[in-house]
Amino acid sequence: MTCDKAAQIHAYLDDEIDAAQRGELEVHLLQCAECQRLLTEIRGLSSLIIRSSRPVPMRAGAMATYYGAWRSARDRAVMRITGWMTAAAAVLLIGALLLGPVRTSPAVAAKPKPGIWEVMVVTPPVETHGEANSDLVQVAQWMADDLSASGGRSR
Amino acid sequence: MPDDAELLRSAGRGDENAFRELVDRHARYLHGIAYSLTQNPSDAEDVVQETFVALLKSKFREESTVRTWLVQILVRRAALLRRSKHRKLSLAAPEEARNDASVAAKGSAVAGSDARLDLAVMLEVLSPEHRQVIVLREIEGMTYDEMATALQVPRGTVESRLHRARAELRERFKGYLQGS
């Protein structure tokens, strides 16, 4: 195609140009054999396509299938939510396994750990540690003196 | 009577009757386009069903009519189906189909304009993009703007695709055009 108006022929035929352009193109068509031929060919092609198209076969149960899209969409939504929940549960499980208490050997694990209350009962308060030690030393000294004194008398 | 957009909103809120009304209004039209694009009744049915499933999952932005929006979804689904089928087929198969159509087209020149031509043969020679514009314009009578919305391309692209598609068909089916 060499005519610069040729591209407008499609829009003209498809009723996609305004009235002013239409009038201008119709004047041009009277003088341009190339555009006239193109217009005839495109018209012929459109009519050939319409003639060649046959009634579209639609299965009797097709409408039921299309109504069924409602259930398909709902089922897919449920499946999607189930999938997300499964994935979330898996992430939580893996996280718990990775961040949980470190496993110990069976021997250590078998030995029962003392309860916290037992530790507190036998452990004196931190601030009295020094005094308690000196008291014990004093008591031990007295006991030793006493024993040596009594031992000396018994001899 | 509620319009399509209202029905769509109701369907989105869980009203199945609204959905069924939308199916009643558009199924046959969509089936016609799907069949023209796929040339296979079973594929056409799958594509339309997928379109209605997508209708319930996608958001309608009211930038076009509901019908054009549905065509947009359908064209995309048909293209996806076509691509997945092509992946499964050997590379030689589509070429054979093209050659068959080409043979039919060559035969047409000999047969003359009285011969009956099948639309499937005509569309088979076109690329998917060119087939889309021919189906939407020539069979469904959509405007350029509607096609641009449905295909999600600029109007200029629609026009250039339509020009090329028509040029290709004119070239291949010359024999049928003589005396049209």
pLDDT over 90 percentage in chain B: 51
From CA B28, how far away is CA A52, in angstroms rounded?
A: 19
Output the average pLDDT for chain B. 83
pLDDT score at B129: 92
Query: Could A42 and B45 be called an inter-chain contact, meaning their C-beta atoms sit closer than 8 Å?
Result: no
Enter the DSSP assignment of A60: T
- Asked if the C-beta of B41 comes within 8 angstroms of chain A's C-beta atoms, the answer is yes
- Asked if the C-beta of B173 comes within 8 angstroms of chain A's C-beta atoms, the answer is yes
From CA B130, how far away is CA B159, in angstroms rounded?
A: 11
Q: Sort out which chain B residues have CB atoms less than 8 A from A78's CB and list them.
A: none
Residue ranges, chain A, pLDDT below 50: 154-155
Asked if residue B42 has pLDDT above 60, the reply is yes
Asked if residue B49 has pLDDT above 90, the reply is yes
Query: Could B36 and A56 be called an inter-chain contact, meaning their C-beta atoms sit closer than 8 Å?
Result: yes
pLDDT score at A92: 92
- Asked if the C-beta of B156 comes within 8 angstroms of chain A's C-beta atoms, the answer is no
Query: Could A66 and B122 be called an inter-chain contact, meaning their C-beta atoms sit closer than 8 Å?
Result: no
Nearest-CA distance A89 → chain B (Å): 25
Alpha-helical segments (H) within chain B: 4-12, 16-38, 41-57, 66-88, 92-111, 119-124, 128-134, 144-151, 155-172, 174-177
Asked if residue B85 has pLDDT above 60, the reply is yes
pTM confidence score: 0.65
CA B152 to chain centre: 14
pLDDT score at B2: 87
Helix, strand or coil, per DSSP, at residue B15:
coil
pLDDT score at A102: 59
Query: Could B139 and A76 be called an inter-chain contact, meaning their C-beta atoms sit closer than 8 Å?
Result: no
pLDDT score at A123: 63
Contacts of B8 (CB under 8 A, 6+ apart): B18, B22, B55, B60, B66
Of the partner residues A10, A73, A77, the one whose CB lies closest to the CB of residue B162? A10
pLDDT score at B167: 93
pLDDT single digits (tens) B94-107: 555 555 555 444 44
Query: Could A49 and B57 be called an inter-chain contact, meaning their C-beta atoms sit closer than 8 Å?
Result: no
ipTM over 0.85: no
User: B161 near B130, Cβ under 8 Å?
Assistant: yes
Contacts of A11 (CB under 8 A, 6+ apart): A17, B144, B159
pLDDT score at B103: 45
Query: Could B28 and A47 be called an inter-chain contact, meaning their C-beta atoms sit closer than 8 Å?
Result: no
pLDDT single digits (tens) B105-143: 444 443 444 445 678 778 888 999 999 999 999 988 999
CA distances (Å), origin B136, targets A146, B30, B44, B71, B79? 118, 11, 15, 9, 14
CB pairs under 8 A between A and B: 109
Of the partner residues B32, B49, B122, the one whose CB lies closest to the CB of residue A66? B49
pLDDT score at A98: 86
Q: Sort out which chain B residues have CB atoms less than 8 A from A73's CB and list them.
A: 52-53, 56-57
pLDDT score at A99: 82
Q: Sort out which chain A residues have CB atoms less than 8 A from B50's CB and list them.
A: 69
pLDDT score at B154: 96
User: B155 near B145, Cβ under 8 Å?
Assistant: yes
Query: Could A70 and B163 be called an inter-chain contact, meaning their C-beta atoms sit closer than 8 Å?
Result: no
Query: Could A57 and B41 be called an inter-chain contact, meaning their C-beta atoms sit closer than 8 Å?
Result: yes
Q: Sort out which chain A residues have CB atoms less than 8 A from B143's CB and list them.
A: 14, 16
Query: Could A67 and B32 be called an inter-chain contact, meaning their C-beta atoms sit closer than 8 Å?
Result: no
- Asked if the C-beta of B166 comes within 8 angstroms of chain A's C-beta atoms, the answer is yes
- Asked if the C-beta of B134 comes within 8 angstroms of chain A's C-beta atoms, the answer is yes
pLDDT score at A155: 44
